[in-house]
Amino acid sequence: MKISSLQRLLGGFLFSLLLGGAPTAFAADCPRIVSQSPYLTLALEWLGRGDCIVGVSRYDRLRPELPRTGGVMDPDAEAIALLEPELFVTSNWTEAGAVAKSLPPATRALRVDGFRSVADVEAMLRSLAEASAAPDAEARLAAFARDWRAAAAAVGGEGRRALVISACSGQPYSFGRGHVVGDAFVHAGFDVVESVERIRHLRPGEEIDSIAAAVERFAPEIVFSLTPESAEQCSAELGLLPVELVGLEGSSFFHPGSGLVAGLNALAEQMKR
C-alpha cells in the first residue's frame, strides 16, 4: 500500500507527541522552518533555531522525530505544504525552479552554499541567521570567525605538500582548494596539491584512477584521510602508500558549519604527535 505524504506527516506528529512534545515551535519570534539538507539542520541548531524546525529532508539523522520533506533534488511539495512553513532553507543544489514549484505562496525560500571555502561557510551561517532572525547571531558569528582562525593557526602546516582524501566510503576522492575541506587545510598552512578546483573522483576510467596514482602525480609529503562516521572499511591502498598518512574523523569537515573548529583542533592535535 502506498503511503501518502499526509500519512507520513501524521506519523511524524504522533511520534513527536509520544516523546512528550510537539514538532513545532510556538514562540512568536520563531519562524516555522523546513530544512532541506542535514548540514543546514546542524547550522540552524548551532544558531539556536533548532526548535523552529518543523520538517527535514529524508537524509536528516539529527531530527528523526520530524516529518520528512523529500530530498535536496526532489523536495516533496505536498509534505512541505502540509507543514505551512514560513521559511524553507536548502542547498543551492536545489534548482530555483524546483524550489518555486514546491513551496506555498507565503513561504520564504533561502538557497545557500557553504561548500566552496571557509569564508563561504561564514556567509552561509550569516544568511541563515538573518533569515531565521537567530538570537545573539552577531556574537555567535564573531566567535566562529575568531575560533576557526585560531584553530587553523595552531595546526602549523608549514607549507607541507598535502593530499586530502576521503577513502573510507565508496569510491575515493580528493579535495581541491575550491572546496571547503581543501580551503581549511590551506588556512592550516598546508600546500594542498590537488589541481582540480573542488573534488576529483579517483576511480577506474578517470585521468587519475587511484589513490596511488594521485600520490605519484602530485608527490605529497603527507596524505590526510578523512573518515565518515558511517564508514565500514577503508581502501586497502591506504596501507601501501609511500608517504606519511594521517587519519581524521571526517564529520567535522564534511558538514560545512561550526564543526570546522573541532575538525581543525583535531588536526592540530594530530600534527603535534
List, for residues 110-130, the tens digit of each pLDDT value.
Answer: 999 999 999 999 999 999 999
Q: Are 73 and 79 in contact (CB under 8 A)?
A: no
Do 147-272 and 5-138 fall under one CATH topology? yes
Distance CA 79, CA 144 (A): 34
pLDDT category, 265, cuts 50, 70, 90?
A: very high
The residues that bridge with 224 in the sheet, in sequence order, are 164, 246
Distance CA 125, CA 146 (A): 14
Mean of pLDDT values over 126-138: 97
Q: Note the pLDDT tens digit of each residue in 232-249.
A: 678 888 889 999 999 999
pLDDT category, 273, cuts 50, 70, 90?
A: confident
Fold of domain 147-272: Rossmann fold (3.40.50)
By CB atoms closer than 10 A (0-12, 13-18, 19+), residue 158 is exposed
Fold of domain 5-138: Rossmann fold (3.40.50)
pLDDT at 22 over 50: no
pLDDT category, 1, cuts 50, 70, 90?
A: very low
Entry pTM: 0.86
3-state secondary structure the chain: CCCCHHHHHHHHHHHHHHCCCCCCCCCCCCCCEEECCHHHHHHHHHCCCHHHEEEECCCCCCCCCCCECECCCCECHHHHHHHCCCEEEEECCCCHHHHHHHCCCCCEEEEECCCCCHHHHHHHHHHHHHHHCCCCHHHHHHHHHHHHHHHHHCCCCCCCEEEEEECCCCCCEEECCCCHHHHHHHHCCCEECCCCCCEEECCCCCCCCCHHHHHHHHCCCEEEEEECCCCCCCCHHHHHCCCEEEEEECHHHHCCCCCHHHHHHHHHHHHHC
For the chain, percent of residues with pLDDT exceeding 70: 88
Determine the residue type at 131. Answer: A
Q: Are 151 and 227 in contact (CB under 8 A)?
A: no
Of 10-14, 154-158, 201-205, the one with minimum mean pLDDT is 10-14
Predicted confidence at residue 219, as pLDDT, reads: 98
pLDDT at 228 over 70: yes
At 188, list the grid cell: 592550516
Phi, psi of 54 (to 5 degrees): -115, -10
Mean of pLDDT values over 58-66: 94
Rg (CA), the chain: 20
pLDDT at 26 over 60: no
Q: Are 253 and 245 in contact (CB under 8 A)?
A: no
Mean of pLDDT values over 189-200: 98
Q: Note the pLDDT tens digit of each residue in 248-259.
A: 999 899 999 999
Mean of pLDDT values over 126-139: 97
Mean of pLDDT values over 43-70: 96
Sequence ranges of the domains in the chain: 5-138, 147-272
pLDDT at 19 over 90: no
Predicted confidence at residue 230, as pLDDT, reads: 63
